[in-house]
Amino acid sequence: MAEQQNITMRVIVSEGDIRKMTTKRPDTLDDLIGWLKGTLQANYSFTLQYQDPEFNNALCNLTNLSELPEKPTIKIIPMIELVPISGDTEPYSDTSSQADTEILSSSSLDRSFQWPEVFDVPKFSVDVEYRLRQGNLLYLRDGTYLKVTKELKHDILEKLAETMYAFKAYPAKEDFEAFAKALVQTHPCLKESGSSSGWNGWKNSLKFKMGNYRTKMRQLGRVDVTVNGGKRGRYTENGEPPHKGIKKPRKGEINFLPEYPEGRDDHNLEEARQVLVNEMMKTKPNGSLVKKEMDLTFALRRKEVVLNKPAISQMLHRWPALFTESQVCYEFTRVVGKSLQENFFDELDRFSPRLMDLFRKKKGLTGQLLAELLRQTKTTEPTDIRCLCLRGLPVILADDSSAFFKTCSDVTDKDSYSDTPVGILCLGQENTQLNPSRVGIILEGSVVMDELANLPQACPSFRT
């Protein structure tokens, strides 16, 4: 048997890693790939390209070893593999309405997480990760900073902008600083020599890159940035000056203006809205159906709220389910990604002991008013303590709460609240003001909710 010949190759692993390698000529392409994986200790899949002399050394896909010249140049092309989720799953069932609801909810929301308190730098491409790893090793050895090429900087910033956009389209100054700081902490070789912080330049570059990324998303039709198209240029719609009327999420909002669910448009979402209206006309609406349709129509509803800014009366007519206690909480979760009541009551209960201690120490007229509220608090039940704190806060802050807290014996007594733009309606007698048996919410002079059990239940709903 003839001795197997050696083959010497120039192997391009990445832009910063080009090697001369020699081995016995393999019999098949799979043998060559397997040898390269073992020699390079590559834990990822890849294909190969080679420089073809017949085409002026342009790269071509390698499909057969017979195509290789005597001393070939080979380039490794990493592959992205899509791995299916494994695990025990039950067969699909039409009776699983909760699963259907969750699927609809997730498909109609663009974002699912709040801005992280501690930002984890994302993984970059294989080429970038290799160069950063080598740079970090040199930095740890002798303190040498990595020389960042234009291409490398572009790849890093592009990935960071993509990651930021997954949380919010319009990050604040503090967000850019957090990302830039996390970047140089994770990859110290990227620190900027001569910079007091080591990351100011990255922060400024990231701001510009984020603007470019929004432009790219706007060209692709993403509604959360398309809504602001033309407002930063010299010529704007309706002759308004640039930068005026830019629509951005408020603090905490993660789904400010989401995309429509896949396969849905204005027409079929309007049909789903009509199903909601018809269901809410029933004496006992189907709660699971209402939630399912509210999840489905969330993007349509946000479009109306953000773009049209309708009056409360119009919203009440088109979205009656939105003015129920359960759907107020669900809507808050859809927009913000947090539980409304849980967060509100946790914070209120956290400050309650200090507030009550402050109420007892106050003197003068303020002390007398607070003493009366304390006298009405007959138990230490959480509801009573929460009522006390909510009614005592305006007193402590020297605010006149009469314009906000309204009282009447019946909701039909419109003279008591018709001029109130925003407020809470306490239904009952004057002496039950601290913890009324029934509470409503007033918006634009109309009672939009009136079946709330107590004041603490009304405040989170009003907050939304």
pLDDT band with cut points at 50, 70 and 90 for residue 98 = very low
4 has pLDDT over 90: no
The C-alpha atoms of residue 9 and residue 23 are separated, in whole angstroms, by 9
The C-alpha atoms of residue 112 and residue 358 are separated, in whole angstroms, by 39
* Structure-block tokens of residue 192: 């900027």
Average pLDDT, the chain: 83
Cross-strand bridge partners of residue 49: 61, 75
Q: What pLDDT score was predicted for residue 85?
A: 39
Q: How many CB atoms lie within 10 A of CB 420?
A: 19
% of the chain residues with pLDDT over 90: 30
Alpha helix (H) residue ranges in 143-199:
150-167, 173-186
Q: At what angle do helices 340-361 and 455-463 cross, to 10 degrees?
A: 120
101 has pLDDT over 70: no
Q: Which long-range contacts (CB under 8 A, 24 or more apart) does 162-167 make?
A: 162/213, 163/122, 164/206, 164/210, 165/210, 165/213, 165/214, 165/217, 166/111, 167/111, 167/113, 167/114, 167/115, 167/116, 167/254
The C-alpha atoms of residue 327 and residue 461 are separated, in whole angstroms, by 10
| For the chain, counts of helices (H) and of strands (E) | 16, 9
pLDDT tens, residue by residue, 142-169:
888 999 999 999 999 999 999 999 888 8
DSSP output for 191-245: PPTT-SSS-HHHHHHHHHHHHHHHHHHHHTT-HHHHTTTTSSSSS-GGGPPTTTT
Q: Where are the domains of the chain?
A: 6-78, 98-111+252-337, 115-230, 340-463
238 has pLDDT over 70: no
Domain 6-78 has CATH 3.10.20.90: yes
With beta carbons less than 8 A apart as the criterion, state whether 72 and 10 touch.
Answer: yes
The C-alpha atoms of residue 80 and residue 443 are separated, in whole angstroms, by 53
pLDDT band with cut points at 50, 70 and 90 for residue 302 = very high
pLDDT tens, residue by residue, 39-59:
877 777 788 999 988 888 888
pLDDT tens, residue by residue, 322-331:
999 889 999 9
Distance between alpha carbon 10 and the CA centroid of its chain, in Å?
45
* Structure-block tokens of residue 369: 């008013």
DSSP output for 244-292: TT---PPTT-S-SSPPPPTT--HHHHHHHHHHHHHHHTSSS--HHHHHH
With beta carbons less than 8 A apart as the criterion, state whether 146 and 139 touch.
Answer: yes
277 has pLDDT over 70: yes
The C-alpha atoms of residue 307 and residue 257 are separated, in whole angstroms, by 9
pLDDT tens, residue by residue, 332-380:
989 988 888 888 889 999 999 999 999 999 998 888 988 888 888 878 8
pLDDT tens, residue by residue, 160-206:
999 999 888 888 899 999 999 999 999 999 998 877 888 999 999 99
Amino acid symbol at 442 = I
Q: Which of 76, 55, 63, 77 is nearest to 10 (CA)?
A: 76
Q: What pLDDT score was predicted for residue 431?
A: 47
pLDDT band with cut points at 50, 70 and 90 for residue 114 = confident
Mode of pairing for the β-strands spanning 46-52 and 58-61:
antiparallel
* Structure-block tokens of residue 86: 């494994």
Q: Which of 108, 88, 105, 87 is nearest to 97 (CA)?
A: 105
With beta carbons less than 8 A apart as the criterion, state whether 293 and 339 touch.
Answer: no
Q: How many CB atoms lie within 10 A of CB 43?
A: 6
233 has pLDDT over 70: no
The residues, ordered by sequence, that sit 6+ positions from 165 with a Cβ below 8 Å of its Cβ are 210, 213, 214, 217
pTM: 0.65
Collapse the DSSP code of 343 into the 3-class scheme (helix H, G, I; strand E, B; otherwise coil) and give the result: helix
